Structure 1
Amino acid sequence: MNDTTIPVGRKARCPSGQAILKAAALALLISSAPAAIGTVHAQALEKDGVTWLDTITVVGTRTETSVQDNPASVTVVDQEEMEKKAPESIAEMLRDVPGVQVVDSSAPGMKRLSIRGESSRRVTILVDGQEITDHSTYGTPILVDPSNVERIEVVRGPSSVLHGAKAIGGVINIVTKRGADKPIQAELGGSYYSGTAGWQGWAAVSGTVDNFDYRFSGSLDDHGDRRVPEGRYTSTGRLDNTSFNNDNLSAHLGYTFGEEGNHYIALKAEQHRLSTESWIDHSTLEYPVTDFNIDLPQRDLRKVGVYYDGTDINDVVRKVHLDAYYQTVDREFRNEVLMQPSPRVSVGVASTSDDRIINYGGTAQVDLQLHPDHYTIFGVQYLTDNLQAAKTSTMTTTLHLPPPPVAMVTPSWGFDDASIHTVSGFAQNEWSFADDFKLTTGARYYYSRTVHDYSEVNSVAVPTRPNGSDGRFVTSAGLTYTGIENTTLRTLYSEGYITPTLLQLFTDTSAGSGETTHANANLAPETSRNVEIGARYNAGDFTFDVAGFYTKARNYITSVPCTAGAGCPVGSLDNERIYINADSATSYGIELAAEYAVPGTAFTPYVSATWMRRQMELTGSFGTMSTYNTNTPALSGRFGVRWEGEVANHATWADLFVRAATGVEQTNWVIRRAPGVSGFVTNSLPGWATLNFAFGGSFGDEDKYSYAVSFNNILNKEYRPSLEEIPGVGRSIEASLRMKF
């Protein structure tokens, strides 16, 4: 992986009063709506004439390319920007990237990311270029220690040609730190979060001795229940069941060799352990459910990876990259549901799932300069995902007849073992075919094989579901033009591809209101096609990155009721469901990152914003629906003004900003057993805006000490960003301190 980075990203902030806050937020978002996707997390602090568009990244093309000249929609958040926050997760660091939404699915300690409206299941998460997989309907949580991250690279839009068979929405690549430049360097840090009465602490030791570099680090954090304004979601100012805690350990060992020091090998190991509760909006419970609870006491990730990079091997072979890894994810899920279908009958269902996911694989890539005008890469990738799921369920049915009540207990348990094996080959060519023009084309062929190894229910082996296989080509093509001073124009066509999860293929699940959702071994992969155009401009004081996109996706997997023709097993009840390929989606929008350093002052106004529309179409034996109610805000973003200078000879910064979004609506197919009616139900949330202020700085020799303080949601606004995220923290303070010795 390339660790070259140049100062990057910032964000948006702006002064406002209570009376004009919402109007100002909406007005500025509307005025910036024609500009929206782009590349970088807005931060145009200019250092030595370099701004964030000059940042070098590899995630968009798998080659070293600046953000300015990248054909893809790329964002980079560097270490300097991350140190201006006190985030308790990687996801929070990316909240203000255009087109990105944070998703926690009611579990505050298990945050995921949605890109351009695509679910987090359709976003590829890479750590040092190696994929973290999670075979669930929710997607991959980002289980990485924020204090151990060098930078984060984001690609928005389908990227399956270069980054694997899950990247319909985009890619998040998290690059972890290596050894420090000196023989030994110790680091300490801590943060406090008043919104959860939480804290985080971490320590690391790193260095470089001769050709060896090393880094060892660890962190702990603990958060209580979230504090929110009293109102719709709580009468006490506290959200029950929103506490969580983490601990992390990581190690890096590297060695540089070769006469020119152009070969590098590394070993990285990490462990992340998480326990989180899950908040439930009880006002949304529908008959016959009267109470509902979820607990996630274990989510542990362990990973070991090895890497080799050789550069400038000869005039033709410019780079060789090899990596391999092995990781396990152990997770435990507990669910309790209480139902009252009639005054005389109550039903309680307690379910558990104790799963282990085993992933291993690797990548080999060679970069070739076959012609002065061509830069070509070839690569192969292999990945095995194995899911071992042990599930239990206990149903207690109580008949409230004349005393005493009669209770009937029905226990059951099951076990599933299944795997997906994927091998793929990819190629990309950058062709500088004329002055100022570069054409980047790529293709990948996937071959995946799904295997259902074993299943049993109540100690009885059941027939395995049919194994399957799929072969698929995906392609991409991007064109950039740099013939206008300080400007890059670009256009891109890209395709996305994702196989069904092992859970969707082979494992029946029971959660929510106690309904069973049946697996379907006949599911087809989901696919998407994307077209986008954009422009980037970088001329000293003024910098912007804007693009528009249009994406069409097919064969989306959803669960539907077991009506006639749905394909459920014989004997299924009408309150059960099954996974099918039923949805398609059309998304289009504009994203923007821009800022202007006001000449002769230390002030920089800036904005990062997204305008997006997303339409879902659902068809099947149960009915037909087409809706824009897809839990996607039409306008969202952050805008404000930043100040940077010196106070008492110390580097200091301050940022006043507004975050805002319009309201969301979501329409789903549900079953209402009370009147025996099924149909489409729409839930909605209002628009919102929060006023925030942050400041910080550094001092001491070589900026040994740095600090950051944030005053969040100053006006104590009650808000919920989306139906997939729990209500936002009320008025709160975050403070962090870092030290290097």
Structure 2
Amino acid sequence: MKVKIIISLFFLILATILNGQTGSISGSITDANGSPLVGANILIEGTIIGTVSDKNGMFELSGLKSGTYILEASMVGYKKNISDPIIISGNNIILNITLTEKILQYDQVVISAGKHKQNLSELPVSTSVINSNRISKKNIVKIDEILRYTPGVNVALDQVSIRGSSGFSRGAGTRVLMTLDGLPLSTGDTGELVWEMIPVTDVERIEVIKGSSSALYGSAAIGGVVNIISKNITSKPITLVKSYFGVYDNPAHDEWKWNNSYRTFNGITASHSNTFGDFGISLSLTRTEDLSYKRNNDLKRYSGFLKSTYKINDFSKLSFIAAGYSHDRGNFNFWKNSRQALEPPDLDLGARVKSDRIISGLIYESIISKVFSYNVKLSLYNNYWKEILGSENSSRSELYRAEVQTNFSVSDNLLIIGGLESSISQVSSTIFGSPDANTFGLYAQAENKFTKKLTLTAGLRFDYSKINQLDAVNSFSPKLGANYKINEKTILRAFAGTGFRAPTLAETYTSTNASGLIIRPNLELDPENNYTLEAGIIHLFFDKINFDAAIFHSEYFDLVEPTLTSDGDSRFIQFRNVTRARIQGIDISTGFELESIGTSFKFSYSYLWARDIENKIALKYRPRNTIYAEAEYTLGSFNLGTDVRYLSKVEEVDRELIENDFVIDGDKRVDVFVIDLHAGFSFFNFNIPANLNLNIYNLLNYNYVEVIGNISPIRNISLNLELLF
């Protein structure tokens, strides 16, 4: 009996010792040529345990308890690598992982479309992905700059429109939702998107969903979603320093010159990422200065980004994210006239805008079991801006948001997502008054893989919105999508959904006089509604050429647009509901990569027919034809590329502002035709962790406007250097 007890105790102690032992998995991640991949993601399947490869492509996962693990290694533009089962029992495993580039780019993993990880090729709706490498090569300072090269997307100044959903309203409202790691970034007063909030060097990728996404994302996503995914925190210390300097060329016409010196722009970013045990942190600070090619349009900005994570256990973690900036810029709205196109009217000289904005958010993620997980998102967006001289308008707002989302895998083929979110907006402003707004949303989505080829998605969302003493508005937004995989090279998709957008506080309450324009409130605004239909196809020709085509049809009801109207002898602008609008079009994109000769090419064409049904005219600021083309050649560490943009002349603009002489010569507009060049050299193959890139924007110094009376950037040259430590 004693012998049995002793033996039992022996094995119990042995099991305890073995269970207490920890091991590790480490190694390298390279591409097919053996070059190290920096920033590749490594995740243990079924957990939140993960890391990122360092500047040498190395990674390490330590402190692993005894057990069996499966590793997922992924990076944007490469095929995911899933390891065989790895047994850990106090030992250290070394893996050398090779990621191969994707021939079919639609196999990339995205999160935004269904609020969970999916392959791009499995989606029922058109989605584009922009990776960090492209952002870095083009020396992008604001994220809206790279969106100008995205199929189906148009940007007028800094207002983005997906498939013609938006025109131009100078920041008062948006039909496109922008999020940072799932945290919405529209302001509490104007509802605008502030691109300067996005830390460019910390962006892993950008996901653009085209078409109404209200069934999952609510009011602001009636036209689509732009989701910014930040880089994961590295397991070892990495410091990045990026600096750039650029200069604007002389304007095309001597009479446009308003200054005898060359106008320059520059910026510097320093960022650091590291993990200490269960705590990880990434921090970046940026200084930006632009003297501008336009008079009274200079800016100086200081911005920062903080991301920290705490691993509570192997199945749950807490993340904190904060982004913000302090900004001082000149306020250029319209030119003085076409002969002094780079100068504002005398009334606007000296007018400036100062703004301070910061968003902070907490994200808690937990995996309860193999079939159930949930996350909680809390955020606060503080926003303050003030106009100096000019109208002296100012606004301070706080926007509180909360969201809870659950994911339930009923079976291997059925996934159900559900959630609720709420927001409270508080505003104190000279231009909007002091209104409050409250919103509430409840959503659910089911995704069922009926067969290996067919996947159906159905979703429904209820939204409630209330502004001050105005009547509350609410809406149900259903959607239905299908994805059918004919074979490995051909995939069909179809989507039908409705959208809803409540008027913003700015559209409802704005009362001001800006640049001689009187703007009055409209408390009778109705919410916008729409429905969207889409059908598309993905095909791979000759195992090399990617092809994507989509046809879409959208009907808008009570579309809100700024309108010049009169009241006796008084003329003023007021946001009003356009009774009916119809938007139809096609998107076609193709591309290929010839690795043997280091060449890649992409081309896209969009046709847009956007009309005001009641007045039988085109909707404002929607170009009918858009072409984007991109070509790049790589030889070893050297790369050379060009981008071409063409947009046909918009048919309708704010004619009332032109006819009433608010914008002199405002009818002068042309097709947009812009050619950019970039060249870069990577020193990594010489054991020097640095990249050097040269960019020439608007090579031909072509003059054009995106909105009336405002010349877009003239030719400029910039050089940027990235150093990794």
Same fold (TM over 0.5): yes
What is aligned with 1:35?
Answer: none
Distance 2:282 2:128 in 1: 26
What is aligned with 1:217?
Answer: 284
User: Aligned pairs, how many?
Assistant: 605
Show CA shifts across 1:284-331 (max 9, x none). 89xxx97542734212211211111123x22431x2111101121101
Paired AA for residue 702 in structure 2: K
What is aligned with 1:554?
Answer: 557
Larger relative contact order (C-alpha < 8 A, sep ≥ 6)? Answer: 1
2:577 corresponds to 1:585 = no
What is aligned with 1:644?
Answer: 634
Paired AA for residue 528 in structure 2: E
2:299 corresponds to 1:244 = yes
Paired AA for residue 284 in structure 2: S
Q: How does 1:505-584 map to 2 (within 5 A)?
A: 505-515=508-518, 517-538=519-540, 540-560=543-563, 574-584=570-580
**TM-fit CA distance, 1:121:** 1.4
Q: Indicate conservation of the 8 Å contact 2:199/2:323, yes or no.
A: no
Paired AA for residue 603 in structure 2: V
Distance 2:178 2:652 in 1: 26
**TM-fit CA distance, 1:372:** 3.0
Q: Percent same amino acid among aligned pairs? A: 20
Show CA shifts across 1:201-247 (max 9, x none). 00011111222211111000100122xxxxxxxxxxxx222212221
What is aligned with 1:430?
Answer: 447
CA gap of 1:178–1:224, structure 2 versus 1, over 3 A, is: same
Q: Secondary structure at the match of 1:283?
A: coil
2:401 corresponds to 1:361 = yes
Q: Indicate conservation of the 8 Å contact 1:8/1:51, yes or no.
A: no
Paired AA for residue 697 in structure 2: N
Distance 1:487 1:180 in 2: 37
After superposition, the CA RMSD in angstroms is 2.9
CA gap of 1:703–1:426, structure 2 versus 1, over 3 A, is: farther
CA gap of 1:448–1:640, structure 2 versus 1, over 3 A, is: closer
Distance 1:553 1:166 in 2: 14
**TM-fit CA distance, 1:136:** 6.1
What is aligned with 1:117?
Answer: 164
Could you tell me which runs of 5 or more consecutive residues in structure 1 were left unpaired when the two chains were aligned.
Answer: 10-45, 105-110, 227-238, 337-350, 392-414, 452-465, 565-571, 619-624
What is aligned with 1:301?
Answer: 357
The counterpart of 1:417, out of the listed 430, 434, 438, is 434
Distance 2:411 2:423 in 1: 32
Q: How does 1:451-530 map to 2 (within 5 A)?
A: 451=468, 466-515=469-518, 517-530=519-532
Distance 1:94 1:561 in 2: 30
Q: Indicate conservation of the 8 Å contact 1:8/1:77, yes or no.
A: no
Distance 1:78 1:672 in 2: 40
CA gap of 1:275–1:671, structure 2 versus 1, over 3 A, is: closer
Q: Indicate conservation of the 8 Å contact 2:464/2:475, yes or no.
A: yes
Q: Indicate conservation of the 8 Å contact 2:135/2:146, yes or no.
A: yes
Q: Indicate conservation of the 8 Å contact 1:85/1:736, yes or no.
A: no
**TM-fit CA distance, 1:528:** 1.3
What is aligned with 1:268?
Answer: 321
CA gap of 1:674–1:60, structure 2 versus 1, over 3 A, is: closer
Scaled by the length of structure 1, the TM-score of the pair is 0.76
Q: Secondary structure at the match of 1:314?
A: coil
Paired AA for residue 593 in structure 2: A
Paired AA for residue 635 in structure 2: G
CA gap of 1:5–1:594, structure 2 versus 1, over 3 A, is: farther
Show CA shifts across 1:693-727 (max 9, x none). 2121322367721122112222222223x226942
What is aligned with 1:158?
Answer: 212
Q: Secondary structure at the match of 2:571?
A: coil
What is aligned with 1:30?
Answer: none
**TM-fit CA distance, 1:382:** 0.8
What is aligned with 1:126?
Answer: 179
**TM-fit CA distance, 1:667:** 4.3
2:297 corresponds to 1:253 = no
What is aligned with 1:631?
Answer: 621
Q: Secondary structure at the match of 2:222?
A: coil
Show CA shifts across 1:45-93 (max 9, x none). x944455322111101111111121112111112222221211211112
Paired AA for residue 288 in structure 2: D
Distance 2:140 2:378 in 1: 30
What is aligned with 1:607?
Answer: 603
**TM-fit CA distance, 1:166:** 0.9
Distance 1:374 1:471 in 2: 29
What is aligned with 1:699?
Answer: 683
2:690 corresponds to 1:690 = no
Scaled by the length of structure 2, the TM-score of the pair is 0.78
2:155 corresponds to 1:102 = yes
Q: Indicate conservation of the 8 Å contact 1:390/1:416, yes or no.
A: yes
2:226 corresponds to 1:176 = no
Q: Secondary structure at the match of 1:282?
A: coil
Distance 2:345 2:384 in 1: 31
**TM-fit CA distance, 1:578:** 3.8
Distance 1:672 1:197 in 2: 32
What is aligned with 2:10?
Answer: none
Q: Secondary structure at the match of 2:122?
A: coil
Q: Indicate conservation of the 8 Å contact 1:242/1:278, yes or no.
A: yes
**TM-fit CA distance, 1:561:** 5.4
**TM-fit CA distance, 1:5:** 5.7
Q: Indicate conservation of the 8 Å contact 1:305/1:324, yes or no.
A: yes
Q: Secondary structure at the match of 2:174?
A: helix
